[in-house]
Amino acid sequence: GNSVTQMEGPVTLSEEAFLTINCTYTATGYPSLFWYVQYPGEGLQLLLKATKADDKGSNKGFEATYRKETTSFHLEKGSVQVSDSAVYFCALADTGRRALTFGSGTRLQVQP
Amino acid sequence: ETGVTQTPRHLVMGMTNKKSLKCEQHLGHNAMYWYKQSAKKPLELMFVYSLEERVENNSVPSRFSPECPNSSHLFLHLHTLQPEDSALYLCASSQASAGYNEQFFGPGTRLTVL
């Protein structure tokens, strides 16, 4: 079956530090990959996506590249801000299946 | 209103109560979902509706009863819940297609069962 594995949190960084949150996946088909972000007290918001191998998704300074050879979709940002503090979820949508498979989420705490 | 809305945002209920959660999407989508988000656990898919027909039910206890009267509305009827059912319940919608499935989420209903 499908699965998504994310690095355990919380990740605590100082403002302007470089961020990497690792995500690897297992899927039977050719999935699309997503990063969602959940700010305190809110639902999930789509941050970025990639639909095929070697695609790079980007939004708000965050990037992730779909690596089929390593089955990974790591999230990166060059300089984090306090406002980036949230929980980040990696997810996949497998071909022909409507529902998403989510990772367990990684909490990011950015300190001023 | 735009996007996906959920009401109520917070709900406290006793184990013998009956209540309903409501979700409404204003995106013209044809698929809707209920997820459960418990502390320190991955999001759990509960139900999927496509074109108002339930197409997925992930072994959810019968004390949770979904209803999808039309493509814009989704309900989750609750009765005789247990304290372990306390969680954030998230609704999502998407335009199901042959390609990827981008889901849009509501803000959730924080449920506490006493």
Q: What is the mean pLDDT of chain B?
A: 89
CB contact under 8 A, B42 and A102: yes
Q: Are A3 and A26 in contact (CB under 8 A)?
A: yes
CA B96 to chain centre: 17
Burial of B59: CB neighbours in 10 Å, binned 0-12, 13-18, 19+? exposed
- pLDDT attached to residue B97: 66
User: Which residue in A has a C-alpha nearest to residue B3's C-alpha?
Assistant: A45
CB contact under 8 A, B42 and A99: no
pLDDT tens figures, A52-88: 999 999 999 999 999 999 999 999 999 999 999 999 9
pLDDT tens figures, B15-30: 888 999 999 999 999 8
Which residue is it, tokens 């995106």?
Answer: B27
Nearest to B33 by CA among B83, B99, B96: B96
CA–CA separation, A107 and B45 (whole Å): 21
Q: How many CB atoms lie within 10 A of CB B23?
A: 27
Q: Are B90 and B108 in contact (CB under 8 A)?
A: yes
- Nearest CA of chain A to the CA of B35: how many Å? 10
CB contact under 8 A, B56 and A98: yes
CB contact under 8 A, B42 and A104: yes
B6 chain-A contacts, CB cut-off 8 A: 43
Q: Are A2 and A28 in contact (CB under 8 A)?
A: yes
Nearest to B29 by CA among B112, B91, B114: B91
- Nearest CA of chain B to the CA of A98: how many Å? 6
CA–CA separation, A88 and A85 (whole Å): 9
For testing contact with chain B, the best of A6, A26, A44, A66 (most B CBs within 10 A): A44
CA–CA separation, B113 and B87 (whole Å): 9
CB contact under 8 A, B4 and A43: yes
pLDDT tens figures, B70-99: 989 999 999 999 999 999 999 999 887 655
CA–CA separation, A19 and A5 (whole Å): 17
Q: Are B19 and B7 in contact (CB under 8 A)?
A: no
A41 chain-B contacts, CB cut-off 8 A: 107
Q: Are A105 and A88 in contact (CB under 8 A)?
A: yes
CA A39 to chain centre: 14
